[in-house]
Amino acid sequence: MIDLRSDTVTKPGEEMREAAAAATVGDDVYGEDPTVNDLEARAAERVGTEAALYVPTGTMGNQIAARVHTERGQEVLADRKSHVVKYELGGLAQLAGLQVRMLDADPRGVPTPAEIDASYVAEDLHRPGTGLLCLENTHNARGGLAIAPEKIEAAADAAHARGVPVHVDGARIFNAATALDVPVTELTEPVDSVMFCLSKGLGAPVGSMLAGSAEFIDRARRVRKLFGGGMRQAGIVAAPGLRALENVPDLETDHENARLLADGLGEIDGLDVQEPETNIVLVDVSGLGLTSEDVLERFEGGGVRASAFGETTLRFCTHRCVSRDEIERAVELVSEEL
């Protein structure tokens, strides 16, 4: 089976397993796990922030950030297709008591300064006001789009001018930096906090990082405990995370494979393929007269897995555990099933 459902299906290599087995550990809730401490320091350095916090999942990282940045009842500005809106179980409301003002942002999912100004709500006797702007890079639901530094900066400047902090869901931000050929710090410098995943394209078995100022991370650590994310001898899972940081250069291979996949699928009648910018390929199957689920069932029967991303849209996601040869074979198998 060639599994292209997500880059979350990556499995740790032998070097990661060896690192986990040999990790020096301690109780992280007491701040005594040296491997976790090392990972947090290196992650902060990578994204150019004062500090970072190791969290079990990217969703938890996003939700912690929202809780720390805001007061209950405030509004969060976010693209209607963003992960925090579509795929986090209403956590902004459930965990932080926030309202979401969904923006129908431009096709790249980044609100313009004009949209931010128009959506901003000032605090007064009747309204709690706008408390946070959430951005996403890469933008998952819009096809893994790599959002350029100038777009991030423009949106962040508009929010900051209103006194509103900015958080970036950067689950795949290293994919964005790779695709744009810029240092990742160019994408993080304009914002107040960023979350990135170790367990997607970077290949770690578990874990994400939340980064920001030292004061922000101090408060985030407390909220992590509140949310049940205080782990003990976490160095066993943090050690593969350290190795994952070394895998950033490999992301370009995933992007090359995504382009190869898109080119191949684009030659098949009935498939309308969005040109990929990173490792995500969106495919409109409406030309087949079938639903996504119908098509997925056919593909899986032929040995290829993808994900439904709408009634007639599929998502394929390349990753380090699928080779170029397997990408070419996947195209052949899909063609045979159609």
The DSSP bridge partners found for residue 316 are: 281
Q: In Å, how far are 10, 236, 334 from 20, measured between CA atoms?
A: 16, 5, 37
With contact defined as beta carbons under 8 Å apart, do 333 and 302 qualify? yes
Orientation of helix 34-47 relative to helix 235-244, angle to 10° = 30
Neighbours of 124 (CB within 10 A): 8
Find, among 159, 185, 325, 192, the residue nearest to 253 by Cα: 325
Pairwise CA distance, residues 281 & 276, whole Å: 5
Per-residue pLDDT, 338:
84
184 membership: H or E segment, kind and range: helix 184-188
The amino acid at 251 = L
3-class secondary structure, 283: strand
Phi, psi for residue 296 in degrees, rounded to 5: -60, -40
**Whole-number pLDDT of residue 106:** 80
281 near 317, Cβ under 8 Å?
yes
Dihedral-angle region of residue 60 (phi above 0 means left; psi in -120 to 50 means alpha; beta otherwise): alpha
CA 229-230-235 angle, 5° bins: 105
Mean pLDDT, 10 residues at a time, the chain of 338 residues: 97 97 97 98 98 98 98 97 97 98 90 96 96 98 97 98 98 98 98 98 98 98 98 98 98 98 97 98 96 95 95 97 98 93
Nearest to 85 by CA among 127, 4, 140: 140
Q: Is 303 left (phi over 0), alpha (psi -120 to 50) or beta?
A: left
Region of residue 98 (phi > 0: left; psi between -120 and 50: alpha; otherwise: beta):
beta
Amino acid at 258: A
Number of H helices, E strands in the chain: 14, 13
Which two three-digit tokens encode residue 147?
């959002």
Locate all alpha helices (DSSP H) within 49-180, ordered by sequence: 58-69, 83-86, 91-96, 113-119, 149-161, 173-180
Give this prediction's pTM: 0.96
- Between CA 151 and CA 160, with CA 156 as vertex, the angle to 5 degrees is 155
What gap in Å lies between CA 135 and CA 276, rounded to an integer? 20
Contact 157, 116 (CB under 8 A): no
pLDDT of 15 reads 96
